[in-house]
């Protein structure tokens, strides 16, 4: 993930949908347990105009970072 996360930003800046698709496939197995993978997945899904998966990946990144929505008492 150390190289994939910054590469996702580079791919997004270029708007390279082909590379975004292949990189997303490569990092997808790590999204549930790795913060950087989740952030990269959110970025790449936005490049691919997939707002729902992007939102889910952003939510997962927040959870992995320790940001939780507190339940109301």
pLDDT digits (tens, 9 = 90+) for 11-53: 999 999 999 999 999 999 999 999 999 999 999 999 999 999 9
Q: How confident is the model over 41-50, as pLDDT tens digits? A: 999 999 999 9
Report the number of distinct structural domains present in the chain: 1
The pLDDT of residue 42 is 97
Domain that holds residue 20: 3-71
The pLDDT of residue 69 is 60
d(CA 40, CA 1): 9
Reduce the secondary structure of the chain to three states and give it as a string.
Answer: CCCHHHHHHHHHHHCCHHHHHHHHHHHHHHCCCCHHHHHHHHHHHHHCCCHHHHHHHHHHHHHHCCCCCCCCC
């Amino acid at each position: 993930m150390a190289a994939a996360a910054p590469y996702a930003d580079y791919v997004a800046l270029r708007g390279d949908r082909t590379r975004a698709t292949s990189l997303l496939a490569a990092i997808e197995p790590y999204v549930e347990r790795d913060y950087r993978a989740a952030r990269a997945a959110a970025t790449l899904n936005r490049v691919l105009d997939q707002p729902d998966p992007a939102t889910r990946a952003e939510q997962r990144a927040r959870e992995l970072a320790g940001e939780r929505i507190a339940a109301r008492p």
